[in-house]
Amino acid sequence: MDLAVRRMALENLGVRQIGAIHENLPAARLVEASVRRREGMIADNGALVARTGKRTGRSPKDRFIIENSLTRDLVDWGEVNQKFPSKKFDELLRNAAGYIESLEEVWVTDAYAGADPRYRLNVQVVTEYAWQALFAKQLFRRPSAEDLETFEPDWTIISLPRLLMDPEIDDTKSETFVGVDFEKKIVLICGTRYAGEIKKSIFGVLNFVLPTEKDVFPMHCSANVGENDDVALFFGLSGTGKTTLSADPERYLIGDDEHGWSDSGVFNFEGGCYAKTIDLSEEKEPQIYNAIRFGSVLENVAMDRINRQVDYTDDSLTENTRAAYPLEFIEGAVRDGMGEHPKAVLFLTADAFGVLPPVSVLSPEQAAYYFLSGYTAKLAGTEADMETDVEATFSTCFGAPFLPLPATTYAGMLSDRLREHNVPCYLVNTGWSGGPYGVGERVDIAATREIVRAAIKGNLAGQETEKDPFFGLNIPVKLEGVPDDILNPRDTWDDKGAYDRQAKKLAGLFRDNFEKFKDSVSDEVRDAGPSS
C-alpha cells in the first residue's frame, strides 16, 4: 500500500494532519528506533528490553465491546463482555484521531491473523511506540513484500499508551480503555503500554467472527505435531504451561497460544510466541531460551543496565515477564502454521490447591464438564488489580476473557469435533503437589513432559486406573517415566486429613461454578463433575 493510500486509511479514522508515518519497517530498524527514542534497551542476548509501567498485565475491567445492531443479540453480555455505547466510542475515536495528529511519528504494521488463507484477517496496527510495532510484527503473521503491495486491512488496532482516559468525561472505569467495535472493525487501546492487549484483542475478534461466519472453532490453546502428523492441542490459561509444553525439542511447534479448528484441521492464528519468562532456564526450556535473540522483545524482564545481562528470576517488576519472538526463532517450528486434525487434546491447569492428579483420563462427558469449568490459578502479575498473590479461578473454556459468544457455543463446537474425529482428552495438572501453593512444590516439568508424551502416543489408553473419590477422575496407577508416588495426589501430602479438606473445598467450588451451566447441558455432562 503506497503512502497516499496509507494516509487515506488514517484519514478514515478522522486523522487530518499526520507527522512521519513509518510503515512495515524491518525488525532491525524498529529496534534502532526504539533505542533512539529511549523506549527500550538492548540486552546482551540481543533482545530489546521494554517496560510497560504500572500496567504489567491485561486490564480486563477496562475492556469493552461496543453495543450496536451487530453485537446486541449475539454477545454474551456481563462482567467479561461489558457494553459500551456506540456514540461515546465515536467521541473516543475523535479524541484518538486528534492525539495521533499531535504525534511526530506514527508506526504502522500490516499483518495477518490466521495461517489458513481461507479464514485469516488482514490487520493493521497503528501505535505511537516503535517497540510495540516490533511486537506486532513478530507476533502476527507477516505478509510477503508482494502481498503488502495490495494489502487492505479488514481490522485496525490503534494503540495509544500515553492517551489517558478521564472516567468522568469518557465514561470509562479508569485511565485505561480497550474497546472493540465489530461494525467499524476497530480496536482502540489507550492508557496501557502492556503489549498483550494488542495480541489478545484480535483473538477476541476471531472468537466472534469465526464461529458466526466461518463455522471454525477458535481455541485458546497451543499446538504441536510429531513426525507421524500426530497433532496435539494444549488448552490452558496463562501460566499453565501451554507455551512450555508445546515447545518440545522432539516435536514441531505449530503455535503456542491461539488456533482454529476447521473442517481440514488446525491452524495457528499467529506468527510468533508470547512466552512467560519468569524463572526461564536453558536447561528446562531450551527452545524458548534460545529463541530470545535480536529481533525479540523482552517485556518487563529485569536487566543490569551496565552489563546488559537479564535476570529471569527477578520478579521485582512483575511475575508476568514476557518474551515475544517470531515462530521461526523456534527450531523446527511449522512455517505454514497448519496441521491435521488432532490425535490428543490436553486441558492444562495449575491447581493452587494441590489436590488434582498430574494426569486424568477424561470421558467425553468429563471433557465437556472440565472445558466449561476451565479451572486454574491466577498468579500475581498476570492481570492488573489482583488483590492476593494467588487466586483460584474458573475461566470458561480456558479463555473466558476472550469469548464474546455464550460459552456453550464453543463447548458445543469442541464436543462435535472430539466425537467426529474420535480424539481422546486428558486433564493435566501442571500446578502443585504435596500441598497448596506456598506449601507444596510445583509438579516437575520433566514428569509432566513424560505424561504429555504418553498421552500423545496413546500409551494412556487401556492403562489401569483408579477413581478419585472427590472428583470422579480416572487416575493411571502406573505410567512409565513418571514416579508412581505422584500419580495419586493424596499420596504426596503428609497430612491426609488436610488433603481431604482441600479436595472437598475445591470440589465444592467446581459445583458452585457449574450452577450457571446446569440448565444448558445434558444430565450426563452435569453429573460428570465432582460428587457432593
Residues annotated catalytic, as ranges: 58, 200, 220, 238, 242-243, 257, 322
Question: From CA 84, how far away is CA 70, in angstroms rounded?
Answer: 13
Question: From CA 491, how far away is CA 125, in angstroms rounded?
Answer: 51
Contacts with 312 (C-beta within 8 Å, 6 or more apart), sequence order:
277, 278, 279, 280, 281, 301, 321
Which residue spans within 15-134 are E strands per DSSP? 20-23, 40-42, 48-50, 63-67, 82-85, 105-113, 121-127
Question: From CA 485, how far away is CA 429, in angstroms rounded?
Answer: 15
Question: From CA 355, how far away is CA 370, in angstroms rounded?
Answer: 15
DSSP string covering 286-338: HHHHHH-STT-EEES-EE-TTT--EETT--SS-S--EEEEEGGGSTT--TT-E
Contacts with 12 (C-beta within 8 Å, 6 or more apart), sequence order:
none
Angle in degrees, CA 409, 411, 412, rounded to 5: 65
Question: From CA 230, how far away is CA 397, in angstroms rounded?
Answer: 23
The C-alpha torsion from 415 through 417 and 420 to 425, rounded to 10°, is -70
Note the Cα 528 to chain centre separation in Å: 27
Q: Please state whether 191 falls in left (phi above 0), alpha (psi between -120 and 50) or beta.
A: left
The C-alpha torsion from 38 through 40 and 41 to 47, rounded to 10°, is -150
Backbone angles phi, psi at 420, to 5 degrees: -60, -40
Note the Cα 122 to chain centre separation in Å: 20
Question: From CA 361, how far away is CA 459, in angstroms rounded?
Answer: 11
Exposed/middle/buried for residue 419 (C-beta within 10 Å: 0-12, 13-18, 19+): exposed
Question: From CA 296, how far away is CA 431, in angstroms rounded?
Answer: 28
